[in-house]
């Protein structure tokens, strides 16, 4: 019984690994590169290399946001969403964008973006279109060449296969700690097996964690049933419950002028005096149900969520926020 179990685990480890190894290599390789996606995108757009870094970026943010609200209100007062993305070290330009109406069959609205030099507040000349590092980021879990949903299912199953390969590999390693220090040179296939054992055992914590966390990011594709059975509207209600959002203005109807953005920023800086704002998002601008979400950079800290405050766009009232005492990653 013991021998047959060992053989079955060896067979499982071998074939599961062979079936998905090249796909997993692509996923790991593109995922590693996508960590530097902003730098690669910047490198692919030499037209913006001459933008000077701001000497006092945080103090300039308030005026950039005020100007952005004026610009977006003039350009797209009826757009469903606005966003202002502030410059940072890895992305040196300022972006004002608004969502265009969805076309038939479109999952998400496309954004019309205007990039500006944050030092002069002048629009930048059009620079070459490139996916840059975002190509590798999307390739990592969308595989680029096939339908997005199909690709994510494939990535999910490849990750599950890798988890099975890791667990079965641990089972068949009768001498897992001894194998970490065993390497026989010039022994043909035995040398390759020793190299395989050393590299897999040394990197085992990384392989296990990267596979597990990859599965967790797409877990609701694999196992949506707990949320579907616990909430009346399924996943939509679940995400509304766990994400800071506005539960008051959903019921508001009709048009309403936007509150002065200064009052929003004054509340933010009163709460977080040294806030480094990353992005401002506005949903349903110029409506009674509008919300203004201010996302703040967590700096070098690991956070469960990006720190954010959510205000009513019509009254300026703070209606939701992330926990101020978020646990470490």
Show the tokens assigned to 202: 């040394």
Q: How far apart are CA 279 and CA 282, in angstroms?
A: 10
pLDDT in tens, 27-84: 999 999 999 998 998 888 888 888 887 777 777 899 999 999 999 999 988 899 999 9
**What is the DSSP code (8-state) at residue 255?**
B
Q: What is the pLDDT confidence band of residue 303, given thresholds at 50, 70 and 90?
A: low
Q: How far apart are CA 251 and CA 298, in angstroms?
A: 32
| Pick from 212, 153, 163, 218: nearest CA to 17 | 163
pLDDT in tens, 229-279: 888 878 877 877 766 554 555 566 788 888 899 999 999 888 888 888 899
Question: Pairing mode, if any, of strands 111-117 and 122-123?
Answer: antiparallel
pLDDT surpasses 70 at 26 = yes
pLDDT in tens, 305-327: 678 888 988 888 888 877 665 44
Q: In what order do the strands lie in the sheet with 277-283?
A: 122-123, 111-117, 94-99, 81-85, 277-283, 291-296, 308-312, 318-321
Q: How far apart are CA 127 and CA 106, in angstroms?
A: 26
- The residues, any chain, with a CB within 8 Å of residue 89's CB and separated by 6 or more, are 53
Average predicted confidence (pLDDT) for the chain: 83
Write down the pLDDT at residue 326.
40
Please report the sign of the dihedral spanned by the C-alpha atoms of residue 307, residue 310, residue 316, residue 318. negative
Show the tokens assigned to 105: 């069959």
pLDDT surpasses 50 at 172 = yes
- Report how far apart the first and last C-alpha atoms of the chain are (Å, whole number): 43
More confident residue, 268 or 328: 268
Q: CA dist 63 to 58, 96, 214, 223, 261, Å?
A: 10, 13, 39, 45, 10
Mean pLDDT (whole number) for 279-307:
80
Q: Calculate the dihedral angle through the C-alpha atoms of 124, 128, 134, 135, rounding to the nearest 10 degrees.
A: 170
Write down the pLDDT at residue 139.
93
Is 238 in contact with 216 (CB distance < 8 Å)?
A: no
Enter the pTM of the model: 0.75
Q: What is the pLDDT confidence band of residue 2, given thresholds at 50, 70 and 90?
A: low
Q: CA dist 139 to 24, 37, 151, 211, Å?
A: 12, 12, 9, 17
Q: How many helices (H) and strands (E) does the chain have?
A: 12, 8
- The residues, any chain, with a CB within 8 Å of residue 122's CB and separated by 6 or more, are 116
For the ranges 23-32, 145-154, 182-191, 267-276, the lowest mean pLDDT is seen at 182-191
Report the DSSP beta bridge partners of residue 297. Answer: none
Write down the pLDDT at residue 323.
63
Mean pLDDT (whole number) for 167-176:
80
Percent of residues, the chain, with pLDDT higher than 90: 26
Write down the pLDDT at residue 292.
92
Q: How far apart are CA 281 and CA 264, in angstroms?
A: 12
Q: What is the pLDDT confidence band of residue 171, given thresholds at 50, 70 and 90?
A: confident
Q: What are phi and psi of 57, to 5 degrees?
A: -65, -45
Give the three-state DSSP class for 226.
helix
């Amino acid at each position: 019984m013991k021998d047959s179990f060992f053989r079955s685990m060896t067979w499982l480890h071998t074939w599961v690994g062979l079936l998905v190894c090249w796909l997993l290599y692509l996923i790991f390789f593109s995922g590693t590169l996508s960590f530097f996606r902003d730098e690669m995108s910047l490198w692919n757009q030499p037209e913006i290399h001459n933008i000077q870094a701001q000497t006092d970026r945080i103090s300039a943010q308030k005026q950039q946001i005020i100007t952005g609200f004026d610009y977006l209100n003039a350009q797209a007062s009826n757009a469903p969403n606005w966003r202002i993305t502030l410059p940072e070290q890895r992305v040196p330009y300022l972006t004002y964008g608004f969502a265009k109406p969805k076309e038939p069959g479109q999952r998400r609205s496309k954004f019309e973006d205007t990039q500006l030099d944050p030092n002069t507040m002048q629009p930048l000349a059009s620079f070459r279109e490139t996916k840059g590092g975002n190509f590798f980021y999307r390739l990592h879990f969308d595989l680029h060449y096939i339908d997005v949903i199909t690709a994510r299912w494939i990535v999910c199953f490849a990750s599950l296969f890798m988890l099975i390969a890791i667990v079965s590999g641990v089972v068949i390693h009768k001498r897992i700690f001894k194998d970490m220090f065993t390497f026989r040179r010039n022994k043909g296939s035995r040398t390759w097996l020793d190299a395989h054992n050393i590299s897999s055992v040394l990197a085992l914590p990384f392989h296990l964690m990267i596979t597990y966390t990859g599965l967790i990011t797409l877990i609701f594709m694999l196992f949506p049933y707990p949320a579907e059975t616990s909430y009346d509207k399924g996943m939509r209600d679940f995400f509304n419950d766990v994400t800071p959002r506005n539960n008051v203005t959903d019921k508001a109807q009709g048009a309403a002028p936007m509150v002065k953005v200064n009052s929003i920023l004054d509340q933010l800086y009163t709460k977080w005096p040294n806030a480094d704002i990353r992005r401002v998002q506005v949903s349903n601008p110029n409506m009674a149900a509008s919300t203004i979400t201010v996302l703040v950079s967590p700096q070098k800290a690991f956070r469960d969520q990006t720190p954010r405050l959510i205000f009513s766009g019509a009254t300026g009232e703070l209606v939701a926020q992330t926990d101020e005492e978020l646990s470490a990653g």
